[in-house]
Chains A and B, each alone.
Chain A
Amino acid sequence: MSESATTVEAPSGGLPPATDEPGLIRRYGVTLVFLAPTLVLLTVWVVYPTLRTIHRSFYDRSGDDFIGIDNYRTLFTDDALVTAIKNNFLWLLIVPFFVTAIGLVFAVLLERIRFSVAFKVVVFMPMAISLFAAGVIWRLMYEKDPSRGTVNAAVAVVADAVSPSGVLSGARPSTDELEGSPARGIVLQAPLEAGSVARLGLTAIREADVPSGAEQAVVPEALAGGITGVVWRDFKPGGGTPGELEQGELGLPGVTVELRSQGGEPTLETTTEPDGTFVFEEVAAGSYRAAIGPDTFTEPYAGVSWLSARLITPAIMMAYIWVWAGFSMVVIAAGLAAIPRDLLEAARTDGASEWQVFRRVTVPLLAPVLSVVFVTMLIYVLKVFDIVIAIAPGSVEDDANVVALAMWRTSFGGVNDFGLGAAIAVFLFLLVIPILALNIRRFRREL
């Protein structure tokens, strides 16, 4: 068979030059033509700048003063830069693992079914979109407002089902006569007995949010042997007088009012009428308090703030995984397909369970492929830039900072300190080298 197409070393004895004439130019002139563009491009655009950047990193922002390793010191003391380094390490720890794992799960699931191509295409598609466009997409999806941001809209569906918003979400007491908070329920402080009239005034209710059918609020007559009261929207344009039931202020119908005993136990419940009044017909002797439970005040889901300082890095990671899982899946699926069926069959015939087959046969055989994916992700994650700058709003850029972004911001994004920027670039280079060297060695071994 011909030589393997995959070794790094060229087959010994490449074809000799066309002529045997002496003179280097004559002999290698043609070769030079083939190589010249490459050599020029690489020297000018890659080799020379690398050396220049290393050199530049030892100078200050103006480029005139030699400052030794000061820039590198800044790299490890400046808050924003330290955050960048920390974030990159978080990325390294979390993302390659999840990308590989998810790809593995998908690949394994896909193996069992036909028509897998459709799924593969769908999951792989984000790779074609680019990390920047993906960033734009997810930036829009992470909007806090659940009526605009997709992610929060989905969470809202669940959240609202679990704790549906109350009739009077966001309302609060209009005076100190009522105590408590929307979270715990609002209680009228003054104790009530048979024959008392309770007045519970609430504000921070939008006119449009008053339950339908509401009428002008009225203070009900006292009822012998019972307790009456009114729950009303204690607001009229201009504010009105808090605590006083005035003309123009609406009652709040459909509100559940509890009558609580001295110990705070709810004993009776009733609902308010269109004019806000409520009645507890027969009440045993004793002192009570009127309250409205927290359920009435539950606010509609406000949305998780994905773009806040705390959550921004996990949020960006999620988007990144969405993009790269497809790559991982495709490569691992190919690796899976390459595993000879006979080995698996043999293992099964020997009595191994599916899980054991997976663990003892499949995974070890997959190891090289898994490491390809994992190491590739390590390299890309170190250089991550596009998606971070696309998703993170300016206010949290420092919290989402990564080394590649820090380098750009320092050099061209405002600080304009080329010396420090060069140092960051060199730092990135140093981080990347060991991993890439690993990768190249793997190439030499495997291919």
Chain B
Amino acid sequence: MRKRWLALASLVGVLAFVAAGCGGDDDGGGGSVEGSEDVTGTISTMGTWAGPEQASFQAVIDGFNELYPNVTVKFTSGGNNLAPLLSTAVQGGNPPDIACIAQPGLIAQFAEQGAIQPIDDLRDAIVDNFGESVADVGAVDGTQYAIMFKGANKSTIWYNVADFEEAGVEPPETWDDLNEVTSTIKAAGITPYSVGVDAGWPISDIFENIYLRTAGADMYDQLANHEIPWTDQSVKDALTLMADVVGDSSNMAGGTDGALETTFDASAAKVFSESPQAAMLILGDFAPGVVKNNPLEPVTGYNVFAFPSIEGSSPAVVGGGDLCANFKTSEAATAFLEYLTTPEAAEIWAERGGFSSPNKNVDPDVYADEITRTTATGLAEAETFRFDMSDLQPSAFGGTPGQGLWKGFTDFVANPDNIDAVTQQMESDAQKAFANS
């Protein structure tokens, strides 16, 4: 029941979130915080961000320290392992003070266990800045637990402009067009896709985008709540379609083997390059933000188009977000969370790129480039929006490396013909996870 509630909240919630988020209407509500030298202490924080993203969050922390100079904030990256790390830490009785988690499913689990503390006092600040619906994404059963500090549009496909020009193709709007573009690119002697299987989650993002368009929003919700099994024909059909892209070794830079050994940042670097190894990259709007030393300029060097519609589906967006919650309450922790509700905190990261803010008071001009503005507004224009399905699942099934969905999609790329076996394994993993939670 909690899951259905969450999915509903996400639908309503984030529709409004970026509609507000990038309208840029500054109605003056929910502004900055005062800051104080009296608040002291050391708080530990964790998130999935590593590399350039970690540097960006560190900049946000530095901004916090300007207001609260006597609080020390430590950040540790959990990477792909954040979910198991936090679960182990909670089990061991030693979680960090604050963690920013990309999985509402995990937030709900922690809330039920009593591991994270309510932040109802901050509800007003959150609503002022993010609106009711977005605020609700971080709430469980009516109690506020988390702030959605960072959002992500995952229905984006990036491409290398030079390669597209060489092949003489334009960004496609339908799946059939995409397949045509793919074969034209191949005829030009260029590899179409750079795929980084990483721990499996980039592939789950592709699957969710396809499924939302082929099966529709209602079935998406049903699958998210495990009301229909993963062995359902709709799942298999989506996987068959996905094989058009990731099932053909000649479509991917390095072939299937190459894709399996590549992490998501390396796959992005292959496209954002002056000698790209592939033309297109199916990855969320954070992609440019994870490539160190990106030599290309937006629009002229690299660009983006929305995930195409399939058989006439209406524009749809699969999105994600990082929700920050506190495991231990303290003055310092509350101060930091409060800071995260402010537009200033969001603007620090937005300036650096690779960041979509759900905060409606953020000045859209602050976004690093036109493309980021586009991807952020893409969220707003979506007729249909859904939160990343795997993030809504119990984390043992939807968010853990080597298990559940992430492993299932990795296996699928390795053996794209094996749809039945893959879906059966996913279904049995799902049953175990839902029984346990």
Contacts and interface: CB of A to CB of B under 8 A. Distances in A.
Q: Do A and B come from one complex?
A: yes
A412 B260 CA distance: 24
Interface string A387-410: 000000111111000000000010
A207 B396 contact: no
Q: Which of B81, B400, B402: most chain A CB closer than 10 A?
A: B402
B257 A305 contact: yes
A375 B167 CA distance: 61
Given A145-B254, A238-B168, A416-B84, A398 B187 contact: no
A395 B258 contact: no
B261 A238 contact: no
Given A409-B402, A415-B403, A393 B168 contact: no
B216 interface: no
Nearest to A238: B168
Contact of B260 (A171, A209, A237, A308): A308
B199 interface: yes
B180 to A, nearest CB: 8
Contact of B401 (A170, A171, A239, A414): A414
A414 B402 contact: yes
Q: Which of B80, B184, B198: most chain A CB closer than 10 A?
A: B184
A416 B437 CA distance: 13
Given A395-B260, A414-B84, A235 B188 contact: yes
B168 A237 contact: yes
Nearest to B436: A61
Contacts of B184: 238-239
A239 B168 contact: yes
Interface in A200-219: 203-207, 209
A206 B188 CA distance: 6
A209 B189 contact: yes
Nearest to B275: A208
Contacts of A171: 189
Interface string B238-260: 00000000000000001101101
Interface residues of A, number: 35
Nearest to B184: A239
A206 B257 contact: no
Contact of A413 (B84, B258, B410): B84
B112 to A, nearest CB: 15
Contact of B402 (A237, A302, A307, A394): A394
Nearest to B399: A414
Given A409-B402, A414-B403, A415-B403, A236 B168 contact: yes
B167 A302 contact: no
A228 interface: no
A309 interface: yes
A206 B197 CA distance: 26
B413 to A, nearest CB: 8
Contacts of B80: 394
A57 interface: no
A144 B254 contact: yes
Nearest to B263: A393
Contact of B166 (A170, A174, A237, A397): A237
Q: Which of A205, A396, A412: most chain B CB closer than 10 A?
A: A412
Interface string B168-194: 110000000000000010111110000
A144 B261 contact: yes
Secondary structure dominating the interface of B: helix
B396 A144 contact: no
Contacts of B168: 236-239
Contacts of A205: 189
B133 interface: no
A97 B169 CA distance: 58
A136 to B, nearest CB: 15
Contacts of B396: 414-416
Interface string B245-288: 00000000011011011000000000000000000000000000
Interface in A173-229: 174, 203-207, 209
Contact of B81 (A206, A309, A414): A414
Contacts of A416: 84, 87-88, 91, 396
Interface in B347-382: none
B188 A398 contact: no
A394 B189 contact: no
Q: Which of A171, A239, A242: most chain B CB closer than 10 A?
A: A239
A394 B202 CA distance: 13
B81 A393 contact: no
B218 interface: no
A207 B187 CA distance: 11
A206 B166 CA distance: 9
A428 to B, nearest CB: 20
A209 B197 CA distance: 29
A393 B402 contact: no
Contacts of A394: 80, 198-200, 401-402, 410
A78 to B, nearest CB: 12
Nearest to A139: B261
Nearest to B92: A412
B27 to A, nearest CB: 44
B34 interface: no
Contacts of A143: 261
Contacts of B254: 144-145
Interface in B77-133: 80-81, 83-84, 87-88, 91
B165 interface: yes
Contacts of A309: 414
Contacts of A238: 167-169, 184
Contacts of B167: 237-238
B199 A204 contact: no
B187 A235 contact: yes
Contacts of B166: 207, 237
A308 B257 contact: yes
Given A144-B258, A145-B254, A393-B261, A170 B189 contact: yes
21 contacts: A144-B257, A170-B189, A203-B189, A204-B186, A204-B188, A207-B166, A207-B189, A237-B166, A237-B169, A239-B184, A239-B187, A305-B257, A305-B258, A308-B260, A395-B200, A397-B402, A412-B84, A414-B84, A414-B403, A415-B84, A416-B91
Q: What 3 pairs between A and B have smallest CB-CB spacing?
A: A237-B168, A206-B189, A238-B168
Given A171-B189, A395-B200, A414-B83, 17 more contacts: A143-B261, A144-B261, A174-B187, A203-B189, A207-B188, A207-B189, A235-B187, A237-B167, A237-B188, A239-B168, A239-B187, A308-B261, A394-B410, A414-B396, A414-B402, A416-B84, A416-B87
Interface of B: 80-81, 83-84, 87-88, 91, 165-169, 184, 186-190, 197-200, 254-255, 257-258, 260-261, 396, 400-403, 407, 410, 414
